[in-house]
Amino acid sequence: MKYKIVVIAAVVCMFYCCNKSSDSTTTTTNSNQTVIKVDKSKFLSAGLSDSITIVSRTLSNGTTADCFKIVSKLTPSDHNMGPWCPTNISDDASKGGIWLEGGKVYDVDGAFVKNLATFYNDTTWNMYNATTGVITKTQTKADCQAAANPNVGVAYKNYCVECLPSYVSTLTQTIYIPVTPVKLSSPVSFGNGPMSSGPTIRGIAFNGVMFDPPAPTNAILGAYTLAPFDDAGGHINLGAGYHYHAATGMSTKITQTDGHAAMIGYALDGFGMYERLSAAGTEYTDLDASRGHYDSTRGYHYHVDKPGSNNFINSLAGAYAN
């Protein structure tokens, strides 16, 4: 009788504990290392079109796993979007966004636009009226679609490209993130475009905005256009909506009690994404090729690249959902 009671208790406990673990946001262990599950409560509901649900998906390593289905409005609820292009060469930095060049962040104020020919050492740049100082920029959704196209025609040469939130107000994007991250023996390279085999999106901020691949600045500049980012590091195109190309500290962050860098979102493989610098302003020097490292509090996690780099992380250390 005692044996039967012990067996029944063990079975009940096993069933209960497994169910409890699947709903929990606490840590699990894998290969003697802490693994942190994705915590859906960290996401701001105002940025989501639907409640986050769990679905079964095939991961890139061929296994099947529970994944969070996240449907984003691509609209931040925690900061304003824009401005992007200033209106006149007399405008200060508050009237425009930023530009990323050579690892640095530049304010796109009127003076920056006026000085483009010198900045790029190319006299073809001339994005303003020399008499009035008015900057030439896109004005309509049709302008946005034509000027943001990789094959920009001569009609939009020397335009500042500014696509507005109203153009993509009904756009949503769905991504799937493993509930429990699965670390791989070798990292997964990112793809270079929608037709590539690897993933392109790097991750998602807590406000639902995507951390996107590097902006194609060479193509933008090659057409003598400028597509600034706002101070939060984001801009809009008609296909991807509002998205980030740099982490500038304006989106929701979760500070860490031990002085570690603040958390800003999740990578596509479910590992946490954190700011580049610690609370004391120091750089992490032990990052791997993906820009990640491990500690027992946060498990494996990433630290994003500097804002001027037009980059977040270099690769995925874990399996992502197909």
Q: Which of 67-76, 211-220, 304-313 bottoms out in mean pLDDT, i.e. has the lowest? A: 211-220
Predicted local distance difference test score (pLDDT) of residue 24: 53
> How many C-beta neighbours within 10 Å does residue 158 have?
17
pLDDT beyond 80 at 311: yes
Predicted local distance difference test score (pLDDT) of residue 30: 60
Q: What is the mean pLDDT of residues 182-199?
A: 83
Q: Are strands 299-303 and 272-274 parallel, antiparallel or unpaired?
A: parallel
> pLDDT tens for residues 126-151?
999 999 999 999 999 999 999 887 67
R_g of the chain, CA atoms, integer Å: 23
The candidate with the shortest Cα–Cα distance to 316, out of 277, 283, 289, 294, is 289
Q: What is the mean pLDDT of residues 234-244?
A: 96
**Cα dihedral 35, 41, 44, 45 sign:** positive
Q: What is the mean pLDDT of residues 140-167?
A: 90
Stretch (H or E) spanning 160 = strand 159-160
Q: What is the pTM of this model?
A: 0.90
Terminal CA-CA length for the chain: 49
Predicted local distance difference test score (pLDDT) of residue 25: 60
CB-neighbour burial class of residue 246 (10 A; exposed 0-12, middle 13-18, buried 19+): buried
Q: Which of 37-51, 182-196, 204-218 bottoms out in mean pLDDT, i.e. has the lowest? A: 182-196
Comparison of pLDDT for 1 and 121, the residue scoring more: 121
pLDDT beyond 70 at 28: no
Predicted local distance difference test score (pLDDT) of residue 320: 97
How far CA 203 is from CA of 16, 96, 302, in Å, comes to 32, 26, 11
Average pLDDT of the chain is 90
Contacts of 288-293 with CB under 8 Å at 24 or more apart are 288/187, 288/317, 289/187, 289/314, 289/315, 290/187, 290/314, 290/315, 290/316, 290/317, 292/317
Phi (first) and psi of residue 274, to 5 degrees: -125, 160
